[in-house]
Amino acid sequence: MARSTESGLPIRPVYGPENLAGWDPADRLGTPGSFPFTRGIHPTMYTGRPWTMRQYAGFGTAAESNARYRQLIEHGGHGLSVAFDLPTQMGHDSDAPLASGEVGKVGVAVDSVEDMRELFAGIPLGEVSTSMTINAPAAVLLLLYQLVAEEQGVPGDRLTGTVQNDVLKEYIARGTYIFPPKPSLRLTADIFAYCRTELPRWNTISVSGYHMAEAGASPAQEVAFTLADAVEYVRTAVAAGMAVDDFAPRISFFFVARTTLLEEVAKFRAARRIWARIMRDEFGAHDPKSQMLRFHTQTAGVQLTAQQPEVNLARVTVQALAAVLGGTQSLHTNSFDEALALPSDKAARLALRTQQVLAYETDVPATVDPFAGSYVVESLTDELEFAALELMDEVEGRGGAVAAIEQGFQKAEIERNAYRVAQETERGERVVVGVNRFRLDEEEHYEPLRVDPAIETRQRERLARLRAERDGTAVAAALDVLRDAARDPSRNVLPPLKEALRARATVGEVCGALRDVWGSHTPAEAL
């Protein structure tokens, strides 16, 4: 559909140097939708349809999260994004001693197929796209989702979504790992192979720079360490015998969007260009979809403040605009009250409305890559590309991402940058509105959403009923088959894992069976 400005002037779908006086035909940026994808992975980008508005939610019980998902869909959300609680992320059941006090706090508690069934009750899984922020036990949660879809009569080839499945960044920045790096990489490769035949439309990994950024990584570090991890995953899959063009089109990425709008736009453009060249030149990928860096963006939670929380609405708007101008494929906008507690219903709705204003009230989606040709953005794109490549070379020089992780390189670099930023903020050189400038003498009272501590008791009771009602002998036999598969590097562990979950084994039990064979990861500084 043709768009025009408020003055009635036409807006072209794509602008380039040919629209300017003195056009130089040697345009090294390429065109949108073509290699090296600096200007976007699709020729039309948002002129055809807006990005996916995927709001991240999950808290308490499966039933409570289900209610929030239904609200988001009713208010115009395009996709679901599931937050799991810490015990689930660490492969522990809600009744495990280590889970005490954490059940349902930062995400939804999912212990078994019964919880997953309740989480998506009344939501047609063949019609929604679901992203799951889960890493070490990614295969477990993905298979639970598939089992629930099968109960709904939805075949695997109709399911769409993403499982984060990026455990390497857990060793760098986040800490929710279970197994050592090598078996974790094997599990990632098994997911790639399984989804190729069973879930062909599913994005098998979302390589995440977001959590590194939240830990303090600079934009250049975020790009470099994320892409270095992605290279490691590709190498692992190729070494396992997979052809790069068979799995690379299902790789996606997850980045942050900060308030520094110009640098963020340049960051996304540089990341696309670097990845396209890596996939073509290092791995020989011929399919253009293998060369495309597709990414989800979340606005920067670490930049939200508890002081004057309404100001976060302005921050999130700027951050969301940076993501859109940078060409994101999907976007989550944080709620203004997240620095205080879990988002309230009103705050979550306002976060979604922020995206809808950008999509339907501004002229930003009317043209592809609006900042192309900007002197500052093109220069920043080049400089960020160079800085990221230097860091990637440093990782390679240390033996690759896993070896550099074991040496503590990425973690140390991120911590050094975080300390620099903290010092600048403390000295007032970096302004944070409401924190070190423009403060109020007295903050307004705000009543946050709180998770009922009784949730933990109810989850324990559900688990007790599950274990009493299921066939314990069948579960034990299925777990033994899973252990046998884990011991054999030539076998894919997902089929026996699925059967154990079908028999109503819990998340903690299947992860425990894999721990029995693979062990648990202990960070170097803890040795």
Q: Looking at the domain assignment, is residue 96 inside a domain?
A: yes
Q: Which residue has the higher pLDDT, 141 or 443?
A: 141
Quick one: pLDDT band at residue 75, thresholds 50, 70, 90? confident
Residues 413 and 462 in one domain: no
Q: Examine the fold and report which residue of 409, 426, 443 is the final residue of a domain before the chain moves on.
A: 426
In a domain, 24, yes or no: no
At residue 69, does pLDDT exceed 70? yes
Output the pLDDT for position 526. 41
Q: Do 228 and 266 fall within a single domain?
A: yes
Q: Tell whether 140 and 235 lie within a shared domain.
A: yes
Distances (CA, A) of 96 to 87, 175, 179: 8, 19, 18
| 8 Å CB contact between 350 and 315 | no
- 64 and 171 in a single domain? The answer is yes
pLDDT for res 10: 81
pLDDT of residue 294: 97
Q: For residue 524, what pLDDT band results from cuts at 50, 70 and 90?
A: low
- What pLDDT digit, counting tens, does each position of 238-278 carry? 999 999 999 999 999 999 999 999 999 999 999 999 999 99
State which of 426, 441, 474 marks the end of a domain: 426
For the chain, what is the mean pLDDT? Answer: 92
Q: Are residues 421 and 474 in the same domain?
A: no
Q: Is residue 331 part of a domain?
A: yes
Model pLDDT for residues 456-481, shown as the tens digit of each residue: 999 999 999 999 999 999 999 999 99
pLDDT at 519 over 70: yes
> Both 350 and 491 in a single domain?
no
**Is residue 26 included in any domain, yes or no?**
no
Q: Which domain holds residue 475?
A: 455-521
296 lies in a domain?
Answer: yes
Mean pLDDT score, 390-416: 96
Query: Residues 389-420, buried b or exposed e (16+ Cβ, 10 A)?
Result: bebbeebeebeebbebbeeebbbebbeebbee
pTM of the entire structure? 0.90
- How far apart, in whole angstroms, are the C-alpha atoms of residue 132 and residue 83? 7
- Average pLDDT for 85-93: 97
For residue 478, give the 3-state DSSP assignment: helix
Q: What is the CATH number of the domain that holds 128?
A: 3.20.20.240
Per residue in 190-240, pLDDT (tens digit) is: 999 999 999 999 999 999 999 999 999 999 999 999 999 999 999 999 999
The reply to whether 406 and 465 lie within a common domain is no
Q: Which residues contact 519 (CB under 8 A, 6 or more apart)?
A: 179, 180, 183
pLDDT at 312 over 50: yes
Q: Quick check: is 84 in a domain?
A: yes
Residue 18's pLDDT band, with cuts at 50, 70 and 90, is low
Same domain, 364 and 513: no
Task: Give me the count of residues in the chain.
Answer: 527
**pLDDT in the model for residue 19:** 59
Query: Residue 525: its pLDDT value, please?
Result: 60
Q: Are residues 416 and 465 in the same domain?
A: no
| DSSP three-state, residue 208 | strand
Specify if 11 maps to a domain: no
**What is the amino acid identity at position 515?**
R
CA distance 25 to 45: 23
- pLDDT(20) > 60: no
What total of structural domains would you count in the chain?
Answer: 2
Based on the domain organization, do 376 and 459 belong to the same domain?
no
